Structure 1
Amino acid sequence: MAYWLFKTEPDTFSIDTLRTQKVSCWDGVRNYQARNMLRDEVKIGDLVLIYHSSCKNVGVVGIARVVREAYPDHFAFDPESDGFDPKSSPDNPRWVMVDIEFVRKTERLISLAVLKAMPELSELPLVKRGNRLSVMPVSESEWQAILTKEAWPK
């Protein structure tokens, strides 16, 4: 099992949306490095930190589990979709998505400021300057360090 952090803008898709839907596709990734991780490395059973970005209160807000490995992101084929890519087609898909299920919501946000202040996270791409990837690996020790900052619901 591996650990990941997936960024999302809560106005588009939030942890509460995932909690309501229970299972959802993780679509819209349009960065090749993030796509390659989704396609080649993210596996069923992997755990994911859900991170709200581009909002007033950025940070880790919950946990999800991968329940379906990479498959073509069909939104890339739809001209009406925000994720449309005219260079992607069902015969030659450029983008992929995975399905995740809600595991739990954190009782409080674990803010970016808190994460940046943790020396044990100094190598986590999220806390490094200029990193904008929406999908990134988290080591087991980083995962455990992050969990120490949250009182998980019973």
Structure 2
Amino acid sequence: MSLPGFFIICMLQSIVAITCGALMMFYTKEVIVLGHGHEIASKLQGSTPHDQLLIQTSESFSGLLLFTIGFVLFMVAFVKDGEFQSFFAKGCVLVHVSMATWRVCFEGKLLGFGHEWLRQALGDIALALSWIFLLVCSWREKYD
């Protein structure tokens, strides 16, 4: 028996990941300005042409990774096995909580990011909560 809502959560997070990944690959500078603001974006773009190329390449590969994750989420959305869905949801919770912890412990100490790490950590926690909500609802249905 598959988990109710699994398909919807996977598809929503897939659409967000694919869109953000594509934007990061092809509109790197605009995404940095949108995410961090003009002041911080100018600091993050590098001072030499070599630095700028390295940073742009790194951002493009990060976008490619995010796009790939979105594509995997899209494929997983069609799996109907309830045990796999539960396992996958628990893994997603672990990944999102780990990312939020990383942002709080390490990115929070970087002076150049301002308070962007807090907004991103709250986003990671919100994504984790969507999976937790799915698991709680499935457990409640299972034991009722």
The TM-score, its normalising length taken from structure 2, stands at 0.25
Larger Rg: 2
TM norm structure 1: 0.24
Larger proportion of strand: 1
